[in-house]
Amino acid sequence: MREGSDKSTHILNASSNLLGICFILITSFRVLHLSSTTFFDELAVLSLVLFMGSCILSFLSIRSGTTKSVLYENIADGIFLAGLIVLFITTILYSFNVI
C-alpha cells in the first residue's frame, strides 16, 4: 500500500458525508419552496459539485497504484477545502440572514 492512501480515505469519507448533507439541504429547500426566493440552494449545489469532485478524485487516488495517485490526492484535497469554504460561507451568510 502506498504512503498517501490514508489521506485519500479520509478525504473520501468526509467529502461523501458532506455530499449527503448538501443533498439534504437542497432537497429541503425545494420541498419548502424556498429555492426560488434565496441564493442558498445555488451555493449548496456548488458545494455539492465540489464534494463530488473530491469524492471521485480521492477514489481514483486510492484505486490507482501509479504516480498519478499523488496528483489525484492533492487535487482532491484542494477541491475538498474549496467545498468546505463555500459551505462555511453559505452557512454564515444564511445565519446572518444575508441570503
Question: How far apart (Å, rounded) are the C-alpha atoms in residues 95 and 55?
Answer: 27
- How confident is the model over 26-45, as pLDDT tens digits? 888 888 877 677 788 889 89
**Average of per-residue pLDDT values in the chain:** 87
For range 60-86, the mean pLDDT? 92
Question: How far apart (Å, rounded) are the C-alpha atoms in residues 84 and 61?
Answer: 20
In contact, 7 and 81? CB cutoff 8 Å: no
Question: How far apart (Å, rounded) are the C-alpha atoms in residues 42 and 74?
Answer: 26
Domain boundaries, the chain: 5-95
pLDDT at residue 15 in the model: 95
Nearest Cα to Cα of residue 53 among 6, 31, 86: 86
Q: Rounded to whole angstroms, what are the CA distances from 35 to 24, 25, 29, 30, 52?
A: 13, 10, 5, 6, 21
- How confident is the model over 2-27, as pLDDT tens digits? 554 578 999 999 999 999 999 998 88
